[in-house]
Amino acid sequence: MNFDYIIVGGGSSGCVTANKLVSKGANVLVIEQGGSDWNPLLRMPAGFIPMLNGSPYHTFHKTIPQKQLNGRQHDIAQANVLGGGSSINGMVYMRGKPSDYNRWKDALNGEAWGWDDIIINYKKQESNQRLNNAYHGIDGPLKVSDPNYVVKGTDLYIKTMQELGLPYNRDFNDGTQYGVGLMQLTTNYGKRCSAVEAFLKPIKNNKNLKIVLKTIVTKIIFEGDKAIGVETLNKGKINKYFANNEIILTAGAYISPKILMLSGVGDENELSKHNIKTICNLKGVGKNLQDHHEVPFVAETKSGYGYFKQDKGIRMLINGLQYMLFNSGPVTSNAAETCSFLNPRDLSDNKEPPIKLYCVQIMYTDRDTKDINPTHGLTLTSCIMNPKARGEVTLKSSNPLDRPLINPNFFSNEDDLNLLMDSVKFARTVIDTNPLKEIVIKEVLPGTKINTDNELRDYCKRTVKTNWHPVGTCKMGLETDKFAVLDSKLRVHGLKNLRVFDVSMMPSLVSANTNAPAMAIADRATDMMLN
C-alpha cells in the first residue's frame, strides 16, 4: 500500500505533522504502537494521576543497572497511546528560555532554530485563554489556559517563595523564567487538550488520513540510500507500507533510535553485535540521551490545603458530580499548579536558573518512595533543567519486540548531583518559611535524620528519577559533528527521504516540559520540508 508520507509514531509530533500534511492535500499514513485515546478518563485533567504507577496507556522501561547509583535500576515510563505524552501527561505548557534554542542555532552555524525563529511556530499553534502579545497567539488549534482550580497550598507556596525574595512571574513562556508563578496548561475550560484533540480531530474524517493503531514498526525499508517504506507487525501479521515522498519518525527519544538501528542506521560496531547489516554508519544514533531528572522532598501538612483523599469516598462523588455538571473543581487540576525557577545557591541569580522547583499538593509516591504512609502533605520536586549527564539508548537484540536498553546515566556528572543536593537543602528552607511554615507538620522525605552531605547524596541516589522528558538521541548538527544524526531540516545524514521530527532531534535539552517543544518542532520541521 502506498502513501505520500508515512509517519511512524502518533504522539504529539506525529499529530502535528499529520495535520499539516493532510491539510496540504497529501495522502498520509500514521502508525502508532499504542491504542486509541477513547477513555473519558484521559480527558479529565486529574485523570492521569491514578495512572502514574501503571496503565494500558504506558510502557514502563527499566534502566540498565546504574553504577553511579549503587547498581540501582529505576523505571522510566513512556506513553503508549494515540497522542503520546499529550494524552497522559501533566498538561504543563512550557517552552524553555531563549538561550536553550540559541545554543541549537550556534551549533548549526546560524541555521534557523533560535528562539526568535521557533517562537513563530509556538504562536501559530497556540490559542491562549489569557495572553495575546508578542509571545502568544489566540487563533491556533492548541488550547492553553491558566489552571482552572487552585488549592490553598498552592497560594501559600507562591507567597512563601516571594517572601524568600523570588519575584512573581505571570508568564513563564515569554523568555523570562526566573521567579514563581502558576504554570499554564494545555486545557480548555476544565478539559485536556491533547495533540489528538488539537490536530487529529479536525482531520479525522479526511480521506487522505489513515491511522493504524497497535502496530509496531519493525524496520525501515531501503533501496540503496533511499528510504522507501516500512515493515510493520500487528497481531503476528507482517505488513509493508511504501512512501512516495518521505518517511518521518516521530516515535520519541527511545523508539526512534531503536527503529533506526533495527533498520541498519547507526554505529556499525553496535549494529554488528546484533548481526544487523549497516545501511548508514551514524555513530550518534542513540547517543546524547538527556533528561530532566528530579529528587523529591515530601512534607506532611495540616488538612484542607491539598488534594489528599479528594479521590476517595464522598469527596470523590462530590468532585465527580461537580466536574460532570460544571467542568470545574479539583478534577480540573493536575495537582502541580505552581513552580519556581531558581538557583538554590543564590536566589538573586536571575540569569539562567538551573532548577525548576515544583510544588505538588499531595505526597507524591512511586516505586522508590512507596514505603511512606500518604496523608495530607505536599511534595517539592527539585528538577535540574540543563543536566550535564549524557546517556544512551542501545539495542537489546535484533528482535523488534524487545525493548531498547536505556542508560540515562543520571549523576554521572558530580555537578548534577551536588546541584540537586543543594536544592533539597533549600526545600528545607522553604517549608520553614511563612506562610507555608504555618501548615507544615513535619518533613517526611528525606527526613530530619538525614543531614550530612554524604547522607543527602545517598538519598538523592536512592530517589532520583526521570521527569519524563527524554531527548537528544538523534541530535541535529553539522556533518562535521561525528555524533550528529540529522541536518538542520531534520533529514538523516547520508540518507534520502528519511527525517526525524520528534524531541530526539534536540542537540541539548530545553529548560521546560517537552510536550510544547515537541509540537513546535514538528510544526517548524514540516514547514521546512514543504517549502
The per-residue pLDDT for range 344-365, each reduced to its tens digit, is 999 999 989 999 999 999 988 7
Residue 202 has pLDDT above 80, yes or no: yes
Rounded to whole angstroms, how far apart are CA atoms 47 and 440?
A: 27
Q: Which residue has the cell 514543504?
A: 530
Residue 10 has pLDDT above 90, yes or no: yes
Identify the pLDDT of residue 44.
87
Q: Can you say whether residue 513 is alpha, beta or left, with left for phi > 0 and alpha for psi between -120 and 50 degrees?
A: beta
**Average confidence score pLDDT of the chain:** 94
pLDDT band (50, 70, 90) for residue 318: confident
Identify the pLDDT of residue 179.
98
Identify the pLDDT of residue 99.
97
DSSP result, 5-59: EEEE--SHHHHHHHHHHHHTT--EEEE-SSB----GGGGSGGGGGGGTT--TTEE
335 vs 13, residue with greater confidence: 13
Identify the pLDDT of residue 369.
67
511 vs 320, residue with greater confidence: 511
Domain boundaries, the chain: 1-64+76-107+192-291+392-403+469-531, 148-182+293-384+411-463
H helices, E strands: number in the chain: 12, 24
Is the separation of the CB atoms in 123 and 531 below 8 Å? no
pLDDT band (50, 70, 90) for residue 367: low
Rounded to whole angstroms, how far apart are CA atoms 304 and 196?
A: 36
Residue 328 has pLDDT above 90, yes or no: no
65-69, 311-315, 350-354 — which is least confidently predicted? 311-315
Residue 392 has pLDDT above 70, yes or no: yes
Identify the pLDDT of residue 370.
65
Q: Which three cell numbers stand for residue 164?
A: 524568600
Q: What mean pLDDT comes out for the span 511-524?
A: 98
Rounded to whole angstroms, how far apart are CA atoms 199 and 523?
A: 11
Q: What mean pLDDT comes out for the span 172-190?
A: 96
Identify the pLDDT of residue 473.
98
Instruction: Give this prediction's pTM.
Output: 0.96
Q: What mean pLDDT comes out for the span 186-206?
A: 96
Active-site residue set: 469
Residue 49 has pLDDT above 80, yes or no: no
Express each pLDDT in 471-506 by its tens digit: 999 999 999 999 999 999 999 999 999 999 999 999
Give the three-state DSSP class for 127: strand
Q: Fold for domain 1-64+76-107+192-291+392-403+469-531?
A: FAD/NAD(P)-binding domain (3.50.50)
Please check whether the two domains, 1-64+76-107+192-291+392-403+469-531 and 148-182+293-384+411-463, share a CATH topology: no
Express each pLDDT in 204-261 by its tens digit: 999 999 999 999 999 999 999 999 999 999 999 999 999 999 999 999 999 999 999 9
In 3D, which of 420, 515, 498, 466 has the Cα closest to residue 223? 498
Is the separation of the CB atoms in 23 and 5 below 8 Å? no
Residue 368 has pLDDT above 70, yes or no: no
First to last CA, the chain: 26
Burial 35-72 (b: 16+ CB within 10 A, else e): ebbebeebbbbbbbbebeeebebbbebebeebebbeeb
36-50, 252-266, 386-400, 440-454 — which is least confidently predicted? 36-50
Residue 410 has pLDDT above 80, yes or no: yes
Identify the pLDDT of residue 41.
85
CA 148 to chain CA mean position, Å: 22
Express each pLDDT in 126-157 by its tens digit: 999 999 999 999 999 999 999 999 999 999 99
Q: Which amino acid does the sequence have at 119?
A: I
Q: What mean pLDDT comes out for the span 171-189?
A: 96
Q: Options 1.10.3720.10, 3.40.630.30, 3.30.70.3340, 3.30.410.40; which CATH number does 148-182+293-384+411-463 get?
A: 3.30.410.40
The percentage of the chain sitting over the pLDDT mark of 70, rounded to a whole number, equals 99
Identify the pLDDT of residue 43.
87
The percentage of the chain sitting over the pLDDT mark of 90, rounded to a whole number, equals 85
